[in-house]
C-alpha cells in the first residue's frame, strides 16, 4: 500500500473532476441539512466548522488539477494559466482561511479526529504553495458581500478566455438569484459545474 502512487499526485480526467466536485457539493448539502435538523451545542459547533473546512480543502485540491483530456477554463485560471498552458504572470488564485482559523481557535473539541482535521485544513491552506496565491472570496476583510479586486480579476480572465459577451462578468454574481447567478447561465455546461462549486 505504501508503494502505490498517491491518489492526489496522479492524473485526472475532466469527467472524474466534475464527478468528485458534484459529490462533494452533495455531501456539503446533506451535511448542512443534517446539522440544521438537530439541537445545537458547543461541541457540535466544532463539527459544523471543521467538516465544511475539510470539504473545502478537498474541493480546492481537486480543482487545482489540470484534466488530461479536457482542461477546464475555471481550473486553469485558478492556477494562473490559460487552457493552452501559457502562464499569465501570476501564481494563481486561492481561498483565504483567516476566519476559519480564528473561529475554530477556541471551540470545544471532544474528538481527537476533529483536532487532526482542523490542523490538516490549516496546514493545507497556509502551506507555502497557497500563501503566494491571490485570495478570492476574502469577505472577512471588509465584511461586505461583494466581489473583491482579486475575484474581479479572476472572473475577467475567465470571461476573456471563453469570449463571454459580458463587459463586467463579476457584476453577474450580484443578482437576485440566491441559488445560482446569471454568470453561471452564460457559461457552457463544461464550465458551469466548476464555477458553481467554486462560488
* pLDDT attached to residue 197: 47
Residue 159: exposure state from Cβ atoms within 10 A (0-12, 13-18, ≥19): buried
Q: What is the DSSP letter of 140?
A: T
Q: Which three cell numbers stand for residue 58?
A: 478537498
3-state secondary structure of 178: coil
Rounded alpha-carbon distances, angstroms, from residue 165 to 13, 74, 160: 28, 17, 9
- Taking the alpha carbons of 57, 63, 64, 68 in that order, is the dihedral positive or negative? positive
* pLDDT attached to residue 2: 66
Mean of pLDDT values over 5-10: 70
Q: How confident is the model at residue 23 (pLDDT cuts 50, 70, 90)?
A: very high
Do the domain assignments include residue 3?
Answer: no
User: pLDDT digits over 42-96, tens only?
Assistant: 888 889 999 999 999 999 999 888 888 888 888 888 888 888 888 888 889 988 8
Do the domain assignments include residue 35?
Answer: yes
Do the domain assignments include residue 117?
Answer: yes
Q: Which residue has the higher pLDDT, 13 or 180?
A: 13
Residue 76: closest CA among 172, 185, 160, 165: 160
Do the domain assignments include residue 136?
Answer: yes
Residue 121: closest CA among 91, 92, 139, 96: 96
**Half-sphere exposure in the Cβ direction for 1 (13 Å, CA):** 0
Q: Which three cell numbers stand for residue 30?
A: 446533506
Q: Which residue has the higher pLDDT, 33 or 169?
A: 33
Domain of 47 in residue numbering reads as: 14-198
User: pLDDT digits over 119-164, tens only?
Assistant: 999 999 988 888 889 988 777 777 666 778 888 888 888 888 877 7
Q: How confident is the model at residue 118 (pLDDT cuts 50, 70, 90)?
A: very high
Instruction: Domain count for the chain, please give it.
Output: 1
Grid coordinates 480543482 are at which residue?
Answer: 63
Do the domain assignments include residue 5?
Answer: no
Do the domain assignments include residue 192?
Answer: yes
* pLDDT attached to residue 104: 84
Do the domain assignments include residue 8?
Answer: no
Cβ(150)–Cβ(135) below 8 Å: yes
pTM of the model: 0.80
Do the domain assignments include residue 98?
Answer: yes
Grid coordinates 441559488 are at which residue?
Answer: 179
Q: How confident is the model at residue 179 (pLDDT cuts 50, 70, 90)?
A: low
* pLDDT attached to residue 198: 47
> How many other C-beta atoms can be found within 10 angstroms of the C-beta atom of residue 105?
8
Amino acid at each position: 500500500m505504501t508503494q502505490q502512487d498517491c491518489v492526489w499526485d496522479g492524473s485526472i480526467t475532466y469527467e472524474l473532476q466534475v464527478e468528485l466536485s458534484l459529490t462533494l457539493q452533495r455531501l456539503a448539502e446533506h451535511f448542512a441539512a443534517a446539522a440544521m435538523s438537530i439541537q445545537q451545542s458547543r461541541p457540535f459547533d466544532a463539527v459544523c466548522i471543521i467538516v465544511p473546512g475539510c470539504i473545502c480543502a478537498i474541493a480546492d485540491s481537486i480543482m487545482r488539477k489540470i484534466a488530461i483530456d479536457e482542461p477546464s477554463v475555471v481550473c486553469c485560471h485558478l492556477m494562473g494559466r490559460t487552457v493552452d498552458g501559457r502562464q499569465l504572470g501570476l501564481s494563481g488564485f486561492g481561498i483565504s482561511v483567516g476566519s476559519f482559523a480564528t473561529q475554530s481557535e477556541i471551540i470545544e473539541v471532544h474528538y481527537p479526529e476533529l483536532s487532526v482535521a482542523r490542523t490538516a485544513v490549516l496546514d493545507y491552506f497556509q502551506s507555502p504553495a497557497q500563501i503566494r496565491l491571490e485570495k478570492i472570496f476574502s469577505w472577512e476583510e471588509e465584511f461586505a458581500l461583494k466581489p473583491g479586486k482579486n475575484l474581479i480579476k479572476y472572473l475577467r480572465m475567465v470571461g476573456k478566455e471563453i469570449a463571454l459577451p459580458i463587459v463586467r462578468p463579476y457584476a453577474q454574481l450580484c443578482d437576485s438569484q440566491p441559488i445560482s447567478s446569471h454568470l453561471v447561465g452564460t457559461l457552457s455546461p463544461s464550465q458551469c459545474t466548476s464555477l458553481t462549486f467554486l462560488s
